[in-house]
Structure 1
Amino acid sequence: MRQPDIEIYLKDADVDHTLIAKWLAQAIGPCSAWQQRGQTWKCHAGNIPVTWIPKAVGKWNSLLLESDQTPWEDDVSCARAAYAALDVEVRCAPGSWSEADGEEDADRWIRVSADGEEEITWRTS
């Protein structure tokens, strides 16, 4: 089932919104100019609203695509594509999560890296 939005976390201080824009332009469509509000950066890739938050969780940068019209059906497929294009470790939730799912599931993540793809426990709070 297609997720209503996509959120992935990218590790690495060398990945910034300009590299993300280049990747998204190839994957989705041209990116509008980035608008910065505090620590948050926003643009549109094609017609998809994009939010980039550097160091959202420690050294992890958050990328949120606010649409169900991305080329990726879920966070995991987007994480795979981001890793392939940018060669940085990517983490994402294994599927949609809501508070009703409980705190245990909130710490379940998929890691995509040079080691392959695996489920990990990542305590973000």
Structure 2
Amino acid sequence: MRQPDIEIYLKDADHKAIAAWLGQAIGAVSEWRQQGQTYKCRAGEVPVTWLPKAVGKWHSLYLESDATPWADDLACARAAFAALNMEVRCAPGGWDEEESVETADRWIRISSDGEEEIIWRTD
């Protein structure tokens, strides 16, 4: 089932490298507009938000649409790792505010070591 939006976390990335990747994967990327701590643009018709250091050294990439090439966070994270060769983390499935704290701390880590489920306490 396709998720309504996508969010992944990337380590040691910058929004310019992300824009280049999104331009290839989705479509032309508009100029980034800084709004406080966040950066916003559009990749094709998809609204994009980049939040540097959202969780420690991890940067959040949020694609606010279901009109992406990826059905879910994990598919996007795999594509990001393949294109950018940097560690990526994402939730193992759609996220729901009703989830327990234990479930909310389950993440998928994709790196040169492979893919694994981890516990990542983000608060």
Same fold (TM > 0.5): yes
Q: Whole-Å Cα distance in 1 between the matches of residues 97 and 67 of structure 2?
A: 24
TM-score normalised over the length of structure 1: 0.97
Amino acid at match of 1:48: V
Count of aligned residue pairs for this structure pair: 123
| Mapping 1:67-106, distance limit 5 Å | 67-106=65-104
Flag structure 2 segments of 5+ consecutive residues without an equivalent.
Answer: none
**Who is 1:34 aligned against?**
32
Structure 1 partner of 2:7: 7
State the 1:37 CA deviation.
0.8
1:21 maps onto 2:27 in alignment: no
Compute the TM-score of the two structures, normalised by the length of structure 2: 0.98
Deviating 4+ runs (over 6 angstroms): none
CA distance in 1, matches of 2:46, 2:4: 12
List alignment gaps of at least 5 residues for structure 1.
none
Tell me how far 1:44 sits from its aligned partner.
Answer: 0.2
Give percent identity, aligned residues only: 72
Q: Secondary structure at the match of 2:109?
A: strand
Task: Name the residue aligned to 2:118.
Answer: 120
How far does residue 123 in structure 1 lie from its aligned partner after superposition?
A: 0.2
**3-state SS, counterpart of residue 18 of structure 1:** helix
Identify the residue that residue 51 of structure 2 maps to in structure 1: 53
Residues 30-60 of structure 1: CA deviation (Å, up to 9, x unaligned) = 0001100111000000000000001000000
Higher mean displacement: 46-55 or 98-107: 98-107
